[in-house]
A and B are shown apart, each in its own frame.
Chain A
Amino acid sequence: DAGVTQSPTHLIKTRGQHVTLRCSPISGHKSVSWYQQVLGQGPQFIFQYYEKEERGRGNFPDRFSARQFPNYSSELNVNALLLGDSALYLCASSLEPGNQPQHFGDGTRLSIL
């Protein structure tokens, strides 16, 4: 069975641009979460979606937004990119929110020049 898939794998942008990252969950999983991981730190929670509705939001500015589609795939959008947005962006899926374990995709490495 396919795991969580993310695209693109790598992305280079300049300050002020916007970016869209995509994620397809494991088949049967209805919840998708997004995380940002900078070097030397654990992943930081950005958003959680379940059945196309936002179920949680982390401490990130409004430049960050996301949505979930009827097929449970998801997009993370970041506007007005800053140098500090350079990070590994991880998508994780689970059967549903709550105590279910989350499984991660390979991530999108975003570099801002």
Chain B
Amino acid sequence: QKEVEQNSGPLSVPEGAIASLNCTYSDRGSQSFFWYRQYSGKSPELIMSIYSNGDKEDGRFTAQLNKASQYVSLLIRDSQPSDSATYLCAVNLYYGNNRLAFGKGNQVVVIP
């Protein structure tokens, strides 16, 4: 089982719609979870951190965490063409010397 899994293929959403991204992780002891946005040819940019079960909202972004199900998600409301990027889920592994493990990322394309 991979440490962090993002299985969905490229996601195309019309402008103004909601984009939904999912991520699962294997380390039950993990305590901190992050979403990064990466534009093509650029480095990852931190957009959300979440540490407790439930929802955390920041502008048009909402992160959701369910530790019992080992599941993290990211919602992007009112999607804009500038949101077109790859979104990386990252988990700070408790049993991995607190190193950050990344999923392979999900590409989001917002269609004007």
- Answer whether A and B are interacting partners: yes
Q: Which residues of chain A are near B31, meaning CB under 8 Å?
A: 99
* B interface size (C-beta, 8 A): 25
* B43: chain A residues within 8 A (beta carbon): 88, 90, 104-107
Specify which chain A residues have a CB less than 8 angstroms from the CB of B101 in the assembled complex.
45
Q: How far is the CA of A101 from the CA of B32 in the complex (A)?
A: 8
Given the interface pairs A42-B104, A99-B92, the reply to whether A56 lies near B42 with Cβ below 8 Å is no
Given known A-B contacts A42-B104, A48-B99, A97-B98, A104 and B44 have beta carbons under 8 A apart: yes
- A91 nearest CB neighbor, chain B only: B43
With A and B bound together, what is the CA distance between A28 and B52 in angstroms? 26
Chain A interface residues toward B at CB < 8 A: 33, 35, 40-45, 48, 55-56, 58, 88, 90, 92, 97-107
